[in-house]
Amino acid sequence: MNSIQLVQQIESKGSFLCVGLDSDPRLIPSNFNKEPDPIFAFNKAVIDATEKYAVAYKPNIAFYEALGPKGWETLQKTMDYIPKNVFTIADAKRGDIGNTALKYAQTFFEPASSGFNFDSITVAPYMGEDSVSPFLSFEDKWVILLALTSNQGSQDFQMLRDENNVPLYERVMRKAMEWGDAGQLMFVVGATRTDYLAHVRAIAPDHFFLVPGVGAQGGSLADVAKYAMNSKVGLLVNSSRGIIYAGDDIAVSAAREARKIKEEMSMYLDQYWIK
C-alpha cells in the first residue's frame, strides 16, 4: 500500500486508528478456548468488531512465534482474514545485516516465499544502514523505524546527547531519512513523549509516525493530534489492550472502544488536518 492509498483510507474512515493484535492465550475470553484455533477465532472477532473504525492492524509477531508452528499458521490465517484495503504492520522489530535482513524482509513482504504479504515491518536501527536498506528495496512496502520510544529503558540510549547536545534519537532519524523517503519510511514515536512530539515532527515533517501508548499506557490522543499531525495526517495511532481486552463480548466491547477512539480522531482530523 502506498502513501496515497493510506491517506485515502484515513479520509474515508475519518480515523487513523491502528489496532494491535497482541493476542495472548492467557488473556483472551475463555469462550474462545473451545475453538480449534482460539487465537484466530479471537482475532477474527476483533477484526469483525473494529474494521469499520481501523485503518491498520498490527500483529505483534512475538505473540505468534511463542506458539511455534501453530502460531505461524494462526498469523497466516489472521493475515488472510484482514481486509485487503487495510494497512498491515508486522511488529517484529527485526535488526540484522545483509542476507539475514533480506531474509527477514522476504518473510514478511514476499508471499511467494513465505505466504505473508504485510505492508510494513518495524525495524531496529542500531546496526545502521545495511540493517535497514534490504527492507527498503521492496516496492510499496514500508519500514517503521524505532525512533523515540516511551519505555523506561529508552533513557539508556535514545536520550544520550553528543557534543552538540543533539540526542541520539534525533541523529538516528536524520540519518535514516537519507536512506528512504517519506513514502517508504515511518518512525515509531511513543505517545507518552508528548513534550517531544512537536520537535520530532519538526525533524521529520513529511513522514508517518506509528504512535503506541495511547489508552492503557496513558498517552494523550489530543496531544498527539495537536503536535504531530501533518498535511497527510502522518499518524497511525495504535491501541492494543484498550480495545482487544475491553470485555468478554468482543463484538460489543472492542467495537465500543474502537468507535470511541475513531470518533475522537474524527474530531481532531476536522480540527488539525489542513489538506
Identify which of 19, 27, 25, 54 has the alpha carbon closest to the alpha carbon of residue 39.
25
Identify which of 139, 89, 97 has the alpha carbon closest to the alpha carbon of residue 116.
89
Contact yes or no for 200/147 (Cβ under 8 A): yes
Q: With 80 as the cut, is the pLDDT of residue 275 above it? A: no
What pLDDT digit, counting tens, does each position of 169-215 carry?
999 999 999 999 999 999 999 877 777 889 999 999 999 999 997 76
Contact yes or no for 109/134 (Cβ under 8 A): no
**Would you call 114 helix, strand, or coil by DSSP?**
helix
Identify the CATH number of the domain in which residue 157 sits: 3.20.20.70
What is the number of other CB atoms lying within 10 angstroms of the CB of residue 270?
9
**Burial profile 211-221: b = 16 or more Cβ within 10 angstroms, e = fewer:** bbbbbebebeb
- pLDDT at position 216: 58
What pLDDT digit, counting tens, does each position of 86-124 carry?
999 999 999 998 899 999 999 999 999 999 999 999 999
Domain containing residue 188: 3-272
Q: Is 103 considered catalytic here?
A: no
What is the number of other CB atoms lying within 10 angstroms of the CB of residue 142?
28
What integer best gives the mean pLDDT of the chain?
Answer: 93
- pLDDT at position 191: 76
Number of compact structural domains in the chain? 1
Most distant CA pair in the chain, distance: 59
Whole-Å CA distances, 221 to 8, 102, 260: 21, 35, 12
User: In DSSP terms, which residues pair with 75 in a beta bridge?
Assistant: none
- Total-model pTM: 0.95
In percent, the amount of the chain with pLDDT more than 90 equals: 81
Identify which of 46, 87, 84, 55 has the alpha carbon closest to the alpha carbon of residue 256.
46
**Would you call 142 helix, strand, or coil by DSSP?**
strand
User: In DSSP terms, which residues pair with 120 in a beta bridge?
Assistant: 89, 142
Amino acid at 42: F
- Per annotation, catalytic residue among 93, 103, 226, 260: 93
